[in-house]
Amino acid sequence: MPGAPPPAICAPGAFATYDGVSELWSPCVTRRGSFIAESTYLQNASAVGGTNYAAYPMLELRTGVLPRLEFAFHTPSQVAESGRNGTGLYPATRLGYGLRYAAFAAPRLAVALATDILPPMSRFSPNHVQSRYVLGVSSAYRLTRRLTLGLSASGTSSAKVGFSRLLPAQALQASYEIGRRTQLSVDLGNRQPAAKAFQAFGDIALDQAFSRRVALKIGAGTAFNTAMGSKAHYLASGIDYRM
């Protein structure tokens, strides 16, 4: 009805999903007894070099285990990026699991804490010989009826170096609800994929909800500078399903 207040930022059915493209967590945890499956397919879109190979879409599974706590499970995936001199890189995300805790939830503001464990993919892989640990915080604030701003930060470490050396990442997010079922979002941030390697990134995405259970997302993103020999430009698409 006209003049009615907007729904709470973490109301059921709101656009509160994990951003697999930029690895940004939602500050809205899954309600107890609910289940959300979020798939994201990435495709290299570099104008020069790279490859057209992409496989194993990212899949995030989330379920509420307590009133303010959810369990998340990530399946492995693989995607192509452009590398040195136009050669193709095939970075793989890793199987992992973690917890999300709703530290604060109000009609216009939400804050969540998150932690992940990423075990090695294979004992034969020299790049994944140790477990990795991720700690993070995510927040969102409804500035107007349609515009929401968010901040997120995380740190990644390992069993070998402990938390004496963290690889940080942070991002600013903005989302605008074009209609009741359509949302446009933009992310800008930077991350440290390895020691002495820094990379800035950005992406834009459109979410379209077809019902309270199914939503489609499409987007595009880029890394603004080269890090570790790669500069990714990619297209993304995915389907979210909740029950």
Sign of CA dihedral 6, 12, 13, 18: positive
Q: In angstroms, how far is CA 13 from the centroid of its own chain?
A: 18
The 10s digit of each residue's pLDDT in 75-106 is 877 766 666 666 666 666 678 899 999 999 89
For residue 127, name the pLDDT band (cuts at 50, 70, 90).
very low
Report which of 60, 84, 80 is spatially closest to residue 71, judged by C-alpha positions: 60
pLDDT tens-digit map of 186-239: 999 998 877 788 889 898 999 898 888 888 889 888 888 877 777 777 788 888
- Which has the closest alpha carbon to 51: 42, 43, 39, 63? 43
DSSP class of 32: B
Q: Rounded CA gap, 202 and 123, in Å?
A: 33
Q: β-pairing, 92-93 with 77-79?
A: antiparallel
- The domains found in the chain, sorted by start residue, are 35-242 (2.40.160.40)
- Output the pTM of the full model: 0.83
